[in-house]
Structures are given as C-alpha cells and as structure tokens.
Amino acid sequence: MLNIVSMGKWLASALLVAAMSMSAAAHNHGMKKDIVAIAAADGQFSTLVAAVKAADLVETLKGEGPFTVFAPTNDAFAALPEGTLEMLLKPENKGQLQAVLTYHVLGAKVMSGDIAGKELSTATVQGEEVAIDATNGVNVAGANVVAADIKASNGVIHVIDAVILPPSMR
C-alpha cells in the first residue's frame, strides 16, 4: 500500500508539473497580444491609439506583420507644436496622419540587440528612410528610445519620447 501511495503522489506531482509547463508554453507561443492590444492596454499610449484609429490603421497593425513600432507616448504627442495634433486628427488630414504614423513603423521585427552599436538608415512602412543611431542608447530620427523590446504576437514596440516626422513633412 505504501508503494501505491508514493506512486500516486509522484503521479500527481508529475501531472501538476506537466500542466504548468503546458500553460507556460501556451502563454509563450501565440497567446501574446498584438501591437494594438498592447498599446491600447497601456495608458501612456492613449493618444497614439486614438491617432491609429483616426488614421484607419488598426487592422493593419493588428495584421500578421512582423512590425517594429516606434511608439510615441502621450507626452511626446503633447510636445508637438500647438495645434499640430488637432490638425492631424481632422478627417480631411487623414492622409497626413497616416504618413506620420507609418513613418514610425518598420516592416520587420527589429529587436534592440539586432542594432546595438550600429548607425543605419532603413525604410519605413511610409516609404521614406529613417535614421537610427544605436551607438549610445538608441535614437530614431531625433527621438530617444526610452523602453525597448516590448514583444507582441506580430512584432515589437520600442517606446520613444518624441513624435518623428517624415522628411517630406519637415
């Protein structure tokens, strides 16, 4: 009888470990939130989320990707010249808003470790090149990355402290 009790305890422990492992694996594979869901759940991105909605880019950024999004915080949007955000959010300026927002997006997943120590220029989803300097921290077209490598199911988010404008809009 002692052997059956010991075996039962071992089996229960093994089943518990297996269940925990499966739960962790499910969490790590495919159950992460997409870029839009992560941004929408974080209050520091409420202005960005409102802009993405106004630009009709929600479905695009919920897509398969992979994407790298340089995500400006609410404070970054607040630092724009007075009236700029309000002007961009008007329905008649949707094209300009789309251009600004897609300039913050790369069509590949780029983790901070991929560019550490490098200076490069790369195409954005908007179509124009953006300068990235990762030799001393990470600077993207004048904006500093203040939090990096927020993993999403369809890419990665890097938080930046300024809104960056495409060269054609400067």
Residues in the chain: 170
58 and 20 within one domain: no
* Together in a domain, 158 and 99: yes
Do residues 111 and 139 both lie within one domain? yes
Sign of CA dihedral 32, 33, 34, 35: negative
pLDDT at 43: 96
Residue with tokens 């989320």: 49
Q: What is the pLDDT of residues 34-79, one digit of tens each?
A: 999 999 999 999 999 999 999 999 999 999 999 999 999 999 999 9
100 Cβ contact list (under 8 Å, min separation 6): 88, 163, 165, 166, 169
- Together in a domain, 52 and 15: no
Q: Are residues 66 and 135 in the same domain?
A: yes
Same domain, 22 and 46: no
Claim to verify: residue 104 and residue 116 sit in the same structural domain: yes
Give the pair of three-digit tokens for residue 170. Answer: 């400067």
pTM: 0.81
Q: Are residues 86 and 151 in the same domain?
A: yes
Give the tens place of pLDDT for each residue, 14-38.
333 333 333 333 334 445 899 999 9
pLDDT of 126-142, one tens digit each? Answer: 999 999 999 999 999 99
Do residues 96 and 42 share a domain? Answer: yes
Sign of CA dihedral 121, 123, 124, 127: positive
What's residue 32's pLDDT?
87
Domain count, the chain: 2
Q: What local confidence, expressed as pLDDT, does residue 31 receive?
A: 53
**135 shares a domain with 147:** yes
Using one digit for the tens of pLDDT, what is the confidence trace for 74-96?
999 999 999 999 999 999 999 99
pLDDT at 93: 96
Return the structure tokens found at 74.
Answer: 């609410």
Domain, as residue range, for 13 = 1-31
Residue 126 and residue 140 share a domain: yes
**Are residue 115 and residue 165 in the same domain, yes or no?**
yes
